[in-house]
Amino acid sequence: MLNADLHCHSTVSDGTLTPEALAGRAKANGVELWALTDHDEIGGQQRALEAARQQGMKYLTGTEISVTFAGQTVHIVGLGFDHRDPALVEGLRRTRGGRGERAQEMSDGLAKVGIHGAYEGALKYVGNPELISRTHFARFLVEAGVCKDTPEVFRKYLTEGKPGFVPHRWARLQDAVQWISDAGGLAVIAHPARYGFTPNEEYALFTEFKAHGGRGVEVVTGSHSTLEAARYAETALEFGLAASRGSDFHSPDESHTDLGALPWLPGQLTPVWELLADRIQ
């Protein structure tokens, strides 16, 4: 089996390592095929491609697009697209828009519960001014001693109903899938177990995703248990989707799953990289 890791984040979104440092770490961990999938952003793709080449690793272009579906945020990973495709570049630019304003509102919400200066604090952790995210706020709140780690920050401050949570409308599912597909890539539902959908909502997500041209699902990811991976292996077969594998690595200090350190894909599934053979660089 190929050690493919097709999901991780750099300083270009909410990771703490540069694309070059990630490439080095992936190689050291035995990754043979790599994709950098920054949130709503492909500004790191050229660097990642060159770093992969330097490490002697195969590369697929990648991104992770924030989508609003059934009132919730769903992540769609795109793989193997042309990272210069104008419609994709523009769609992602629009998807990023609004993050600055949202961050100001998050900061206002936190100020109401006595946490001041969170916007400025979060900004210190931001590598890309267009991509201020909840993760950067979480890092600041840990630094400020408000919480002991980032999961605690999310639990207490940054999820629905909590003081720093600001609802946001991201891209439409069909647009995200179309930008990726039209740019020659393959769209993948990221970490499906994380959404907390009812069975009906989840069925609707997979059905609509497929109808719009989506072709893959993450089965093995850093955010799935063994049981969840087995469950989504069945879903992949049921919907005729290829399977992806990715750590979702963000940081050596925060991520429990390191690059490439994942179980193998169950054998009966079609790996996404088989469908993307001619897109591997």
The site for ligand AMP (CB under 6 A) is made up of 14, 39, 66, 133-135, 150-151, 154, 250
Q: Which amino acid is at 267?
A: G
Kindly give the interhelix angle for 199-211 and 226-239, rounded to the nearest 10 degrees: 50
With contact defined as beta carbons under 8 Å apart, do 14 and 37 qualify?
A: no
Taking the complex as a whole, how short is the minimal distance between the CB of residue 35 and Mn ion, in angstroms? 11
Q: Is 218 in the site for Mn ion (CB under 5 A)?
A: no
Nearest Cα to Cα of residue 188 among 221, 222, 153: 221
Taking the complex as a whole, how short is the minimal distance between the CB of residue 7 and Mn ion, in angstroms? 6
Nearest Cα to Cα of residue 102 among 68, 77, 75, 144: 68
Closer residue to Mn ion (CB): 27 or 75: 75
Distance CA 11, CA 170 (A): 21
Q: Please, is 50 exposed, middle or buried when counting C-beta atoms within 10 Å of its C-beta (0-12, 13-18, 19+)?
A: middle
Q: Which amino acid is at 167?
A: P
Binding partner selected for residue 154 from Mn ion, ligand AMP, none, CB under the kind-specific 5 to 8 Å limit: ligand AMP
Binding partner selected for residue 38 from ligand AMP, Mn ion, none, CB under the kind-specific 5 to 8 Å limit: none
Site string for Mn ion, 68-107 (x = CB under 5 A): -------x--------------------------------
Binding partner selected for residue 150 from Mn ion, ligand AMP, none, CB under the kind-specific 5 to 8 Å limit: ligand AMP
Taking the complex as a whole, how short is the minimal distance between the CB of residue 133 and ligand AMP, in angstroms? 3
Binding partner selected for residue 167 from Mn ion, ligand AMP, none, CB under the kind-specific 5 to 8 Å limit: none
